[in-house]
Amino acid sequence: MREIGHFIGGKEMKGGSGRFGDVFNPNTGEVQAKVAFANRAEMERAIANAAAAQPEWAATNPQRRARVMFKFLELVAKDGENLAKLLSCEHGKTIPDARGDIQRGVEVVEFACGIPHLLKGEFSEGAGPNIDLYSLRQPLGVVAGITPFNFPAMIPLWKCAPALACGNAFILKPSERDPSVPMRIAELFLEAGLPAGVLNVVNGDKEAVDTLLTDPRVRAIGFVGSSSIAEYIYATGCAHGKRVQCFGGAKNHMIVMPDADMDQAVDALIGAGYGSAGERCMAVSVAVPVGKKTADILMEKLIPRVENLKIGPSSDAQADYGPLVTRAHLNKVKDYVELGIKEGAKLAVDGRNFKLQGYENGNFMGGCLFDEVKPSMRIYKEEIFGPVLSVVRAKDYAEALRLPSEHDYGNGVAIFTRDGDTARDFTSRVEVGMVGVNVPIPVPLAYYTFGGWKRSGFGDLNQHGADSVRFYTKTKTVTSRWPSGTKEGAEFVIPTMK
């Protein structure tokens, strides 16, 4: 049985704690590897390696750090198919979807290649009598990222690429469910010229996380996962004096106005609701048709599309989606469907009994579609994270606007309409962090920032874009005056620029 250890100090190392987790093949349900869970001593070794390597890396000029990013992009391009297959066989998403996972991570590395420009400070000549003012952006030191199973390439790259480009050393604690791609990313960065110890990957559970949260050498932590864990990491990290950004759960709505192109809207709901088996923090999980006629037409078009979703092994490039990541998660999603029935929602399509011939023990589930879901129901309030779409009928635009605005989560939302006034009003007033207009999954490109509101995000700065540079650096402001030879005497009042 293959064992996955850690990547510390530029070398792959076996786990020493004696504790391991199972890495499953989602297609078959079989255990395909064991991943080591680091103890505190192993985490501290990784932190020590990072702390020792960081000063020299910080002293490397930004242009040379950018060259490492460029070389990494070359290596990923060469190894892209192998990475996609490795990702697919542990996560369960299809190969085309795995390629997209990698690509969206690569785009942030491309953004980080611009670090010489992004780190430029500000300068004001003659801000006062013979006084110049200027600011510097300097790295924090050792920083860390704790990333989820659903994007094992994209989110680690979202975290580590800007951090490394800014001159920090980085410790990555990836999900124990699909750890192989993050380990391979570390190898490729080393091959690209990143000094040993600047990027470390340590697998583990709560013991590893708590070490990162409490060790004073770790100056900042980024996290993506459930809101309950995000809140714990944010509170604990802040209590230990760290800079923290945490992104939690979501319940993304898609508003369908009566004037929307219904075929376009249905295509969007099918792809955004069921792609990657719904295991996306930006998946559309709630459709909100406005008016009875809109809702009836939408359901009439949705039902056959959901019934005819093509579900297959992750190696099937023609499949709409593959298996869920683990049997435990599959059972959790099925439990939510049963709960929805008990709560009184109408299950229009039931995919719980789907079986794939030849893969009967795999974690497969057909698409489920609920109608007449009410805001008081748990299946509306909570994140299901599976191939389940809920339709909440709104009587008018005001109610449709209110639903996502009043929900506890505020990650993403979309509106489908042909009316520019409605779209403009919606984007201005909706209380959600990322908004799509006729775009179902409004994930910004790498040079804008990604982040939700309310219980979807904890902290003041978002992921990638300019916020990532702000998060991974500290600003130093210098006030400079060179003596002119004239003695002015002591000043006892606060300096001003009069």
Which is it for the CA torsion 201, 462, 194, 152, positive or negative?
positive
Cβ–Cβ contacts within 10 Å for residue 242, how many? 22
Residue 399 tokens read as 């109610």
199-201, strands of its sheet edge to edge: 11-13, 6-8, 199-201, 169-173, 142-146, 218-224, 243-247, 457-458
How many helices and strands, by DSSP H and E, does the chain display? 15, 23
Residue found by looking up tokens 């005001």 in the block: 398
Q: Cβ–Cβ contacts within 10 Å for residue 480, how many?
A: 10
φ, ψ at 194 (rounded to 5°): -70, 130
SS3 222: strand
Catalytic sites, residue numbers = 281
Token readout for 59 is 């002293």
Query: How far apart are alpha carbons 419 and 75 in whole angstroms?
Result: 45
User: Longest Cα pair distance anywhere in the chain, in angstroms?
Assistant: 91
Whats the size of the chain, residue-wise? Answer: 498
DSSP SS3 for 199: strand
Please measure the distance between the N-terminal and C-terminal CA atoms of the chain and give it in whole angstroms: 74
Angle 23-27-28 from CA coordinates, rounded to 5°: 75
